Amino acid sequence: MENLKEKIQSVVNLYKSGNLVKTEEIVKKLIKENPNLVFLYNLLGLTLSGQNKIDEAIECYKNGIKIDPKYGMIYNNLGLLFYNRKSIKLGSKDYLKKAEDLYKKSISLDSKIPEPQTNLGNLYNLTNRHKDAIKHHKLAIQINPKFVYPYLNIANVYLSIGKFDQAKEYLVKAIEINPKFYMAHRILSRVTKYKKDDKHLNQLKNLYKEIHEKDFENKMFLAFSLGKANEDIKNFEDSFLYYSNANSICRKKVSFSIENETQKFNEIKKTFSKSLFNKFENSGNFDASPIFIVGMPRSGTTLVEQILSSHSNVFGADEVDIIPELTRKYFGENNINLFLQNVFEFEKKDLKKMGEEYILRINDISSNSIRTTDKLPVNFTSIGLIKLILPKAKIIHTSRNPKDNIFSIFKNYFPAGKIPYAYSLEEIVQYYNLYFDLMKYWNNIIPEFIFNIKYENLISETKNEIIKLLDFCELSWEDECLNFYNNKRPIKTASDIQVRSKIFNTSIDYWKNYKKYLDKHYLDIKL
């Protein structure tokens, strides 16, 4: 038995080191020798899921439950897999319901483990049950006050509902428990307005000096934090250096080809022609409730959604992946490319079916509101498809001074892969030019389908622009739209802090603070 304990400890250490392939090999051997030891099934499930072998991991956890149905942690880990699969069927609550049930089962079997409590809290935050989310995160803290993740998670809840002081309080607590909790440092930097003698700024500097060069992710978190902190104290030289370092780390983790993007954008323009729209005239689903807000990230999309969702007849759904998910479902992993190849073989009934499915999924989120905003910026690439499947939908395109827009993308952290072009100024400029050309194309070919609004105009002529915006959406005037900063809806984007404030113009021409570092990158921007 002692020998087995040593073997298990050895393989646990191997798992913690990140060598998942070798861990999987050894654990499978141990299971053959000890087929009734549920701990091994749990460890194997973690190892498989870490390699994105999700189906195998699910099966492994289920086998472990058969052996010992009272082992609480395995239900928690299985729940996490279903929770992380939520995007596969966005609009369907199946996966989230399975995750919720599994977390609750884990809690009922073992009330002394904090993980299922805080995981349940994350699920409730996602589904906007914020009081329940806070409750379960606090329960996790009660179980283990030294477990740092519930502090971070509860801070994220408070951030999404605009309670920034409370968020800051829990982030500070997390860092007090673990001064090297780098993710907490990054989020704390977002809600802090730094001064030169700020204690946290000095802490960030010291951590950055000490961190190992190969600890890439945490070094990235610190670099973004220091970029923001130095920006606050107007040390723009160091700020740009830190932002550059952070993005350089991110860039190494993603695969992005401007050549592939160029080909895709050219194919979109080639395929979505006048003849195509004529062929499918009066096709699709005629539900007029969706309002799509599109554009480049950091172009004012969140502000526009905040304004519209302040209207009594509008539900703000935030950034939802329904259009990309539908595209993948109907055309496979190559999505738009397959669509471009096969679109002329489509029938009107196919487009109607896609439109109907979109409405079902968005209604599942919005509770059948009169109007619902879908604020996924990259949907600008799918305007042609939206026109075919939802011809009565509204498309609002937000744009911003490209020099401000590009730098704002560069200085904000986006999880690796979410916006793969975001980590290089050269590539952001190249992608921006593709976007610019495509929007010019859409505005030429289907101008009546698109309402264009400039961020700068919205700032300088707020009421007039809101009047025009509401008129396009066929909505009556409501004062609440002008007082959008009072809107308490949850916001989970990088603009969560800005849109809870009254209109301010300090972000206009902000790029000029970094002019000497940006000019050489901005030579090729299309205007």
Q: What's the confidence (pLDDT) of residue 142?
A: 97
Sorted by sequence, the CB contacts under 8 Å of residue 514 that are 6+ apart come out as 236, 239, 240, 407
pLDDT mean across residues, the chain: 90
> Nearest to residue 307, comparing CAs of 452, 468, 487?
487
Q: Flag the least confident range among 292-301, 341-350, 389-398.
A: 341-350
Q: For the segment 233-244, what is each residue's pLDDT rounded down to a tens digit?
A: 999 999 999 999
* Per-residue confidence band for 492, with pLDDT thresholds at 50, 70 and 90: low
Q: What's the confidence (pLDDT) of residue 86?
A: 56
Give CA–CA dist 216/195, Å, rounded: 27
> Nearest to residue 399, comparing CAs of 297, 498, 511?
297
Q: Flag the least confident range among 57-71, 113-127, 482-496.
A: 482-496
201 pLDDT above the threshold of 50: yes
336 pLDDT above the threshold of 60: no
Q: For the segment 27-54, what is each residue's pLDDT rounded down to a tens digit?
A: 999 999 999 999 999 999 999 999 989 9
Give CA–CA dist 479/483, Å, rounded: 7
Give CA–CA dist 521/338, Å, rounded: 34
Q: Which two tokens stand for residue 191?
A: 């809600």
2 pLDDT above the threshold of 60: no
Torsion of the alpha carbons at 475, 479, 485 and 488, rounded to the nearest 10: -70
Q: For the segment 359-391, what is each residue's pLDDT rounded down to a tens digit?
A: 998 988 887 789 999 999 999 999 999 999 999
Q: What's the confidence (pLDDT) of residue 90?
A: 40
DSSP characters for 152-216?
HHHHHHHHHTT-HHHHHHHHHHHHHH-TT-HHHHHHHHHT----TT-HHHHHHHHHHHHS-TT-H
Q: What's the confidence (pLDDT) of residue 89?
A: 42
Q: Flag the least confident range among 71-80, 97-106, 254-263, 270-279.
A: 270-279
* Per-residue confidence band for 126, with pLDDT thresholds at 50, 70 and 90: confident
223 pLDDT above the threshold of 60: yes
Phi and psi (nearest 5°) for 44?
A: -65, -40
Q: What's the confidence (pLDDT) of residue 88?
A: 41
Give CA–CA dist 440/427, Å, rounded: 20
User: For 177, which DSSP code?
Assistant: H
Q: What's the confidence (pLDDT) of residue 499?
A: 52
Calculate mean pLDDT across residues 483-511. 71
Q: What's the confidence (pLDDT) of residue 91?
A: 41
Q: What's the confidence (pLDDT) of residue 218?
A: 94
* Per-residue confidence band for 136, with pLDDT thresholds at 50, 70 and 90: very high
Q: For the segment 397-439, what is each residue's pLDDT rounded down to a tens digit?
A: 999 999 999 999 999 998 867 899 999 999 999 999 999 999 9
Positive or negative CA dihedral for 78, 84, 85, 89?
positive
349 pLDDT above the threshold of 90: no
The owner of tokens 């998910």 is: 325
* Percentage of residues of the chain with pLDDT beyond 70: 92
Q: What's the confidence (pLDDT) of residue 501?
A: 60
Phi and psi (nearest 5°) for 493?
A: -120, 175
Q: Which two tokens stand for residue 330?
A: 């109907």
Q: What's the confidence (pLDDT) of residue 343?
A: 65
| CB 143, CB 503: distance < 8 Å | no
Calculate mean pLDDT across residues 520-525. 92
Q: Which two tokens stand for residue 306?
A: 């905040």
| CB 453, CB 469: distance < 8 Å | yes
Give CA–CA dist 163/433, Å, rounded: 37
CATH 3.40.190.10 fits 271-521, yes or no: no
Q: What's the confidence (pLDDT) of residue 500?
A: 56
Alpha-carbon distance values, 271 to 246, 276, 322, 337, 339 (Å): 38, 7, 22, 10, 9
